[in-house]
Each structure stands twice: as C-alpha cells, then as structure tokens.
Homo-oligomer: A and B are copies of this chain.
Amino acid sequence: MFSEINSNVCRYVSFSTEELELFNTLLRHKHFPKKTYLLRAGEVCNFEGFILKGSLRKYYIDDNGNEVIIQFGIENGWISDIASFSDQKPGNLFIETLEDTELLMLDPKSKESLLTKVPKFERFYRKLVEKNISTMQNRLYFSIAKTAEQKYLDFLEHYPGIPQRVPQHYIASYLGMTPEFLSKVRARLLKK
C-alpha cells in the first residue's frame, strides 16, 4: 500500500527505510466515492493527499458561476490547496472526486511532526512545489500564447488516458474554452 508513495517521495530525495516507515505511520488511508467534495471554497484545507486510485479535479468558481478547473489529479499524483493548507486559512478552491478514489492523506499536525522529526522532508516538499511551479508556469504560457487546438493536442500528449476517464466538458474547462468549442476543435482534427 505504501510502495507507490514511497517510491514517489524517493524520486526527489533519498530516505532510509526507518524514515519512510515513520512517514507511513502518519498517513491515513481513506476511500471516497465518486463526486465527493474534499474541499469547498471558504473552507480551510486540512489535508495533502497522495492518489492511490481514482481521479479528482480542483477548480475555482468565477463571478458568473462558471467552473475553472486548475488541476486534474490521478494515480501517483498529489492534491491539495497548498495556500490554504500552508497558512491554515480559508481558500477559494473546490476539490471533488471524479471517480471512486483512494487517498493517503496527511494533516497539518502530522506534517509538522514529520518535518520536525525528519527535516529532510522539507527538501522533498520544496522540490515537489518547485516542480509544480514549472507546470503552472507552462500552463500560463500555453493559456496565453497557444490556440485552442494546440492546447488540446498538448493535453492529449501530456495526459494520455485522462480523456477516457473524465467528461469532455471538464477538459474544456481545464483548457479554458467552452465545451462546444472543444467539440468543434475535435471535429476539425478528425477530418485530417
């Protein structure tokens, strides 16, 4: 059960068996059915989750009530509202499961305790958020500089498998376009 998360963690920093075991004792294994909300705007995020199975989406709701998906989470990925979790202040994000989902979750106190006992985890978390930043930067760049078609093709390349698992209009939202237009883009692509 912990093998995936341990090897994920070791991709960034190497840890001893004892360190990993301590880490593992702090995690709580949880199961959520499809369409469960783990977080709503206005709430304080009290978890960082590692995804063992299933998928989730993280999104804002804008002034007109439209959802804007910021991130999809799938197996071996992490999901949380970092800002809200880190400051323990209410955030603006929603996090919802898209399928039946299993997570390994860490709460703020356990994380603090982990960081105190094994400071090397600070390094791991730093690396993790650094990766996250490049991703966000690249998404921002795409959102500004690329056409709808380029964004969609890039998505397919970067997240193969997702289109089969999540409704298409969520992908449209992630890419910053309307579901109708994504449908037209796809139709256009099929003609080639």
Number of copies: 2
Contact between chains at B140 and A143 (CB < 8 Å): yes
Partner of A62 from B66, B140, B145 at Cβ < 8 Å: B145
Total A residues in contact with B, Cβ cutoff 8 Å: 32
Q: What string of 1s and 0s marks CB contacts (under 8 Å) between A83-106 and chain B?
A: 100100000000000000000000
Most B C-beta atoms less than 10 A away, residue of A60, A68, A119, A144: A144
The CA of A126 and the CA of B145, in the complex, are separated in Å by 29
Chain B residues near A115 (CB-CB < 8 A): 123
Contact between chains at B137 and A86 (CB < 8 Å): no
- A127 contacts chain B at the CB level, 8 A cutoff: yes
The CA of A66 and the CA of B115, in the complex, are separated in Å by 43
Q: A: which residues have CB within 8 A of B?
A: 60, 62-63, 66, 68, 70, 82-83, 86, 115, 119, 122-123, 125-127, 129-134, 136-137, 139-141, 143-146, 176
